Structure 1
Amino acid sequence: MENKAKKFIEIDTKEKARKVAGWLDDKQASEIIGIDVHEVCPIAEIVMVVTAKGVRHSQALADHILGMLAENKIEYLGMEGYKSGDWILLDLNDIIVHIFQEDNRSFYNIEGLWSEGTQIELDS
């Protein structure tokens, strides 16, 4: 039997969240938070919310995350909202990343939606 190399690495969810937070911080994202939702959400373990300075900044943040995921051989499932850039959602399988413009972040209040979760420390 041929031994095939894995296409993606296995990585701990909290470690992945810390890496993503670091990549976001590298590109001047603000108000980066992570919420552990594994007990209250059937589709993810961590929800991350971040604020971008504008549409081009949010697109640049999404591009940077996808580039770093590829470079580190970390799997992701999809992305929504890139074209408008007002609210970009990245599905990293066990982590959902929401990149918002400031006004949209307060309007949609993702942190309030997941208030049953526990905020986690993301300092790398």
Structure 2
Amino acid sequence: MLNKEKKFADMTSLEKARNVAGWLDDKQGERITVINVSGLSSVTDMIVVVSARGVKHAQALATHILDKAAENNLEFLSMEGHKTGEWVLVDLNDVLVHVFLDELREFYNIEGMWAEAPRVELEA
């Protein structure tokens, strides 16, 4: 009998999004919002939006997510925008993370696009 090991950690999208929010908080990410789009999006279940104080901070937040995802055996599909650091998108399959400089966060208004989606309460 073949021993089939699980490739990735067994974690719900909600647990994963909450973990990501905690990791962002650990690195002083600002205005962290988690949006449950599971019934509304065919692409992902949860969206995490965070503001960075600057380009280097945005890059550091994105890198920290990747490091913690690897450490916790979470699926990572891709990352866009890390080089410029103004808007970094980290795709963890069922959780999409948007790391924004504040002015771009307001401009793209991801939260407004998903206004009908419920917000996830995060621990203070």
* TM-score category, normalised to shorter length: over 0.9
Higher normalized contact order (CA 8 Å, seq sep 6+, divided by chain length): 1
Q: Deviations over 1:1-45 (max 9, x none)?
A: 321322211101111111101100000000000111111111111
Q: Deviations over 1:95-116 (max 9, x none)?
A: 1110000100000000001111
2:49 corresponding residue in structure 1: 49
1:11 corresponding residue in structure 2: 11
2:85 corresponding residue in structure 1: 85
1:22 corresponding residue in structure 2: 22
- Give the TM-score taking structure 1 as reference length: 0.95
Mapped to 1, the partners of 2:82 and 2:102 lie a distance apart of 16
Mapped to 1, the partners of 2:123 and 2:78 lie a distance apart of 25
User: Which residue identity lines up with residue 85 of structure 2 in the other structure?
Assistant: G
1:112 corresponding residue in structure 2: 112
Overall identity of the aligned pairs, in %: 52
Structure 1 moving runs of 4+ over 6 Å: none
Q: Deviations over 1:77-107 (max 9, x none)?
A: 1111111000000111111110000100000
Mapped to 1, the partners of 2:116 and 2:77 lie a distance apart of 25
Mapped to 1, the partners of 2:52 and 2:59 lie a distance apart of 9
User: Which residue identity lines up with residue 33 of structure 1 in the other structure?
Assistant: T
- Give the TM-score taking structure 2 as reference length: 0.95
**Offset of residue 56 of structure 1:** 0.5
**Offset of residue 122 of structure 1:** 2.4
Mapped to 2, the partners of 1:122 and 1:94 lie a distance apart of 18
2:72 corresponding residue in structure 1: 72
